Amino acid sequence: DAKTTQPPSMDCAEGRAANLPCNHSTISGNEYVYWYRQIHSQGPQYIIHGLKNNETNEMASLIITEDRKSSTLILPHATLRDTAVYYCILPFYGQNFVFGPGTRLSVLP
């Protein structure tokens, strides 16, 4: 079983920020949180990952709570192309991914 829980679906208006939450209450001190997304019929695309500090790259920002039990992926200005299933993942044994059902984000025009 995946070590994370995410809402099954979310809607976001085009141009607005999309905030995708993830709970990982059993996270251990040296476990990273990874975020990927999968657009229909494609392989997952890496978005961002973090340990304890907030992270930002050209795709998104990752906000990790101080106790590290939850995180939020932020897409600052969602576009229709951001419609996808978003996965929050804590690896097993440092590298093995167990994908949960993820959050299906629908960006609406």
Partner 1 sequence: GAVVSQHPSWVICKSGTSVKIECRSLDFQATTMFWYRQFPKQSLMLMATSNEGSKATYEQGVEKDKFLINHASLTLSTLTVTSAHPEDSSFYICSASRTGQPQHFGDGTRLSIL
Which tokens go with 76? 């600052």
Interface with partner 1 includes 41 (CB under 8 A)?
yes
Q: Report the distance separating Cα 45 and Cα 77, nearest Å.
A: 18
Cα dist. 90→2, 26, 27, 44, 75 in Å?
8, 10, 8, 15, 20
Please work out the total of residues on this chain that contact partner 1, with binding judged by CB under 8 A: 19
Per the CB < 8 A criterion, the answer to whether 14 and 109 are in contact is yes
Choice from 4, 12, 34, 62 touching partner 1 (CB under 8 A): 34
Choice from 22, 87, 105, 107 touching partner 1 (CB under 8 A): 87
- The window from 3-11, 19-27, 44-52, 76-84 that contacts partner 1 (CB under 8 A) reads 44-52
Site residues (vs partner 1, CB under 8 A): 34, 36, 38, 41-46, 49, 87, 95-102
